Structure 1
């Protein structure tokens, strides 16, 4: 009986050491993930501080829309006329919201977004997408962008490491809670 309790106490000390060491080593990463995760949770309710609202166009019938090429040219012209002529027009993505009758042009090397009415080409909104930067910090891809990696290797390593660390924290934290209760039962 005494030997069993000693083994339980030994396992508890090992789990405590793992938990404490990982906590000290990964503290800053968990802090960053928690803050950015909180902000990402609020992005759609941030009064356009983090993410521009999505506006509504005049038609959700795609046959009435201007061609994507023409809309792209309009968006690029608006970008240069309204924001800065020196900004890159390299696209990150085109987000078509058929049900709302709009198309969003999101640019690669800056956080600007141009929303156009798909049918008329009228500008619905010019906004900043700060949430994309926060998301890149949250998942580690900001380092892939900075170092220009080919396949997002840093993001994969970062998310795998942090996921496994969180799993280990959960297991060791549970055992640090449950282990002493179990030891009391065996007394």
Structure 2
């Protein structure tokens, strides 16, 4: 009788896990789809021939002593941004990526997905690029919604990554149990039959 009760409890647990697995998958299908596609693209960004991530171009000098001051390079980058792309774009900087070994400095802007690569020594334009990888990353981690709704502390990203992380943990646990549980039940049934 105890063995029968134990099997019934295991079967009930399997049904609960199957229900959690199915409902979570149905509710979050679209989000899992976007995460998988964007994750795949981000994995390939350095191997996309400049489509997802612009290549880093070579400047004239790798010696920082030969370089122009950063404020001068910044001024050049903003001028190029407004003259070459649009005078309406914000020149607010997200980050400055200094590649000493390439003799290049890259200005990445905060409010849009453009970047400007300049020769560190001459200040001349090396490349204007769209930061498609940043856009894809913002979709991947949900921060694109924070940008759209102009939240201040990335609250949507925090909620989104927490829900998706917990869902993935739930999928892993329930998926494992849906695979292992029936094997365990069959094994116990076989042992009982032999006994």
Q: Which category describes the TM-score, using the shorter chain as reference length?
A: over 0.9
Instruction: Report the alpha carbon displacement of residue 109 of structure 1 after superposing the two structures with TM.
Output: 2.0
- RMSD, matched Cα: 1.0
Aligned length: 187
Q: 2:130 aligns with which of 102, 122, 128?
A: 128
Instruction: Report the alpha carbon displacement of residue 86 of structure 1 after superposing the two structures with TM.
Output: 2.3
**Which position in structure 1 is the counterpart of 2:75?**
73
Q: After the TM superposition, which residues 34-49 of structure 1 pair with which residues of structure 2 at under 5 Å, given as runs?
A: 34-49=36-51
Task: State how far apart, in whole Å, the 1-side matches of 2:130 and 2:171 are.
Answer: 36
Instruction: Report the alpha carbon displacement of residue 128 of structure 1 after superposing the two structures with TM.
Output: 0.8
- Answering whether residue 176 of structure 2 is matched by residue 186 of structure 1, we say no
Aligned partner of residue 92 in structure 1, secondary structure: strand
Instruction: Report the alpha carbon displacement of residue 96 of structure 1 after superposing the two structures with TM.
Output: 0.9
Task: State how far apart, in whole Å, the 2-side matches of 1:75 and 1:66 are.
Answer: 13
Q: State TM-score, norm by structure 2.
A: 0.93
Q: State TM-score, norm by structure 1.
A: 0.96
Aligned partner of residue 186 in structure 1, secondary structure: helix
- Answering whether residue 145 of structure 2 is matched by residue 143 of structure 1, we say yes
Deviation by residue 1:121-144 (Cα, 9 ceiling, x = unmatched): 111111111111111010000111
- In structure 1, runs of 5+ residues without a counterpart are none
**Which position in structure 2 is the counterpart of 1:16?**
18
Instruction: Report the alpha carbon displacement of residue 147 of structure 1 after superposing the two structures with TM.
Output: 1.2
Q: Which has the larger radius of gyration?
A: 2
Instruction: Report the alpha carbon displacement of residue 85 of structure 1 after superposing the two structures with TM.
Output: 2.3
Instruction: Report the alpha carbon displacement of residue 48 of structure 1 after superposing the two structures with TM.
Output: 1.6
Task: State how far apart, in whole Å, the 1-side matches of 2:119 and 2:99 are.
Answer: 10
